[in-house]
Structure 1
């Protein structure tokens, strides 16, 4: 079995235990990710989205761009996303079932979106080089990844729950994470794949673990004003955020 066949088996095992109903923190992070990345999309944009989950963000992107192609290695996610898109009546979305590393297209895109993808894949550089190949010369790559230096992780480290900020937890393994980035590591991967960043930052200061944040939402402690405050704090202190992003163009 070659590495790509092994990767397909890995995906099946990971997504067989995937929770189809997103948590409140996942919903919040999705909205803030869209808010952050949508600034680089417009009604003339042709977009390639890497990974679709249940299609929630796919639908939101599709409503503001000219066309969007979606590639995902999971039949499970593709079927969920297709169902959502068909129910919404959006008609500018095309789906491809493929590993990112082996995806090929004769099209050249204005934007490639890789939101919370690089932490899952076998070889991030292979995925980034594929993205570079399908981008127009003046195209943009929009990347978001979990942040090793998030305040919640730093707190866990001080509590003795982690030995290292980049240590993978049981939950990380369950959802198929293979690595966690800090801004330096993300920048290094971008440069090694032939990109340069034109903007980077953080998405929402993360004060506690996801399950703890969900409890705060449930009890009404974290509400819209607090979410907005944590988002704005993230603009000032990106290293404390749950997610970090990089907006990149091809390097010369």
Structure 2
């Protein structure tokens, strides 16, 4: 594991705290990550892969199965130690994204559930744009404020607004909840070209209700349905690239 520059104290404490209570690799969240990889694999090009914010490393293992050279940049020490132990072939760099200084460019950059966490999403996307190799692609996925379960929460009075932070958002350390328009605008603000916008996981109820009552077949069916209705899917994603000179 390679240490980055000395990390900013408050931000490191936030990341270490998130690592102690993360549930990204459990239940419906894990199923969502696995389906996200199914979507991402359609767009994987040649060259090395940079994964930003791998957390428990569920996506990392799936990316490694493609045979590509993988580099992970993660701020939480506990996650980095676990990643290094489980994936010795993967280069794991402990650093804030703002501190990372790669020695090469990448064919694919993966940002799964990253941009809702960072202080300045546009600034992070601008950095990532510079790390893309010519013809490279950046794939990012985030929760969708317009998800059916959030819309229902507003109608029921348990959520103030679709983009308000709920208890699970706060547990994960989310700073915002994007809707499709604000998500796309972040990429445009960073000077990236949007090649594709999509979604997956049509989510009518909470993760807890899904885990208690749904079969695996139901969960997979609703993952697929989210691709048909991306604007109201639980997860949305963008495939972006550097614009031609």
Verify: 1:235 aligned to 2:238, yes or no. Answer: no
Equivalent residue, structure 2, for 1:58:
60
Which residue of 171, 196, 201 maps to 2:198? 201
SS class of match (1:205) = coil
Counterpart CA distance in 1 for 2:160 and 2:62 is 39
Q: Give the CA deviation at 1:31.
A: 1.2
Q: Give the CA deviation at 1:19.
A: 4.6
Q: What RMSD in Å do the two structures reach over aligned CA positions? A: 1.8
Counterpart CA distance in 2 for 1:179 and 1:66 is 32
Q: Give the CA deviation at 1:4.
A: 3.2
Counterpart CA distance in 2 for 1:19 and 1:28 is 12
Equivalent residue, structure 2, for 1:12:
16
Which residues of 2 match residues 77-226 of structure 1 at below 5 A? 77-86=79-88, 91=89, 93-216=90-213, 221-224=214-217, 226=218
Superposed CA deviations along residues 60-88 of structure 1, whole A, max 9, x for unmatched, are: 101214201100011111112222224xx
SS class of match (2:201) = strand
Question: What's the TM-score once normalised by structure 2's chain length?
Answer: 0.92
Q: Give the CA deviation at 1:145.
A: 0.4
Counterpart CA distance in 1 for 2:122 and 2:8 is 15
Verify: 1:31 aligned to 2:34, yes or no. Answer: yes
Counterpart CA distance in 2 for 1:29 and 1:183 is 18
Deviation beyond 6 Å, 4+ runs, structure 1: none
Segments of structure 1 that go 5 or more residues without pairing to the other structure are none
Q: Give the CA deviation at 1:5.
A: 2.8
SS class of match (1:198) = strand
141-150 or 73-82, which deviates more: 73-82
SS class of match (1:137) = strand
Equivalent residue, structure 1, for 2:236:
244
**Matched-pair contact (CA < 8 Å) for 2:54–2:112:** no
Equivalent residue, structure 1, for 2:4:
none
Q: Give the CA deviation at 1:143.
A: 0.5
SS class of match (1:127) = helix
SS class of match (1:162) = coil
**Matched-pair contact (CA < 8 Å) for 1:199–1:248:** yes
SS class of match (2:145) = coil
SS class of match (1:16) = helix
